[in-house]
A and B are shown apart, each in its own frame.
Chain A
C-alpha cells in the first residue's frame, strides 16, 4: 500500500513551459485534491475532485488545470508556467474525514 505518490519530486521550468504533476493513490479514495504551499501562507487549495469525472476549483485555481479520468489518478497541469507558480505542491486524498498527503513536488519557475 503506497498511499499517495507524487512525481516528480523536483522540477525546474522556464517561464512559458508546460508540465504535468502526477498524483496517484491506491486507497480507492473518491476525494482527491491539490494544494500549494508558500512560506507564511500555509496550504492553499488549487483544485479538488469528489470522484472520477468530477472536478472543481479551490481557492487559487488560476493557471492550473486538472482532470480525473480514474479514481486512482489526479494530474495537475500547468499550461504556461509563471514565476508566481514557484511553490511546493502537495497532492492529497481523503477517506472522508481528513487528508492523506503525498511527499510533495518542489517546482521552480525561472
Chain B
C-alpha cells in the first residue's frame, strides 16, 4: 500500500536560515509527488509537484524539492526562510494513473524565529 512519512512533526528555524523538510514515500512505481502548504485556518495551496523528468523541481515562494528514487524521498528546501513561511507543510503521493487520488503525510509544522 502507498504511504507517506514526514518524520518531523515540528521544526523551528531562524528567519534567514535554510530549511529542509523531509518526506519519504512507499510506492511500487514512480508516483506523482506533491508538496502543499497550509496557513492557519486556511485551505491547502500547492507549492510544487513532480511527475517525471528533472528530479529538482522549482515551486512557488522560492521553494524547491528533489526527487531521489534510490532513497524514496522528496525533500522540500528553501535557502532562506521568511517569517511568512510559518505554516504546516504536507507531502503527498498519487499513483501515476490516478493523479487526483492523493495520500498525505502527517504534516510538518514550521515555526520561524525572528
Contact = CB atoms under 8 A, between A and B. Distances in A.
Interface stretch (A13-21, A38-46, A69-77): A38-46
Contacts, number: 62
A34 interface: no
Contacts of B100: 31, 33, 48, 92-94, 96-99
B42 A98 contact: no
Interface string B69-93: 0000000000000000000001000
Contacts of B51: 97
Contacts of A104: 42-43
Given A40-B9, A43-B90, A97-B49, A90 B103 contact: no
B102 interface: yes
B90 A102 contact: no
Given A98-B34, A101-B43, A42 B99 contact: no
A100 B102 CA distance: 11
A67 B36 CA distance: 27
B17 interface: no
Contacts of A100: 46
Given A31-B100, A99-B100, A90 B43 contact: yes
A48 B94 CA distance: 13
A98 B106 contact: no
Contact of A42 (B34, B42, B105): B105
A42 B35 CA distance: 13
B43 A102 contact: yes
B32 interface: yes
B104 interface: yes
A98 B104 contact: no
A103 interface: yes
Given A41-B106, A43-B104, A103-B43, 10 more contacts: A35-B104, A42-B104, A45-B103, A59-B103, A96-B100, A97-B49, A97-B94, A97-B99, A98-B49, A100-B46
10 contacts: A33-B100, A40-B106, A43-B90, A45-B101, A90-B43, A93-B100, A94-B99, A97-B32, A98-B49, A98-B99
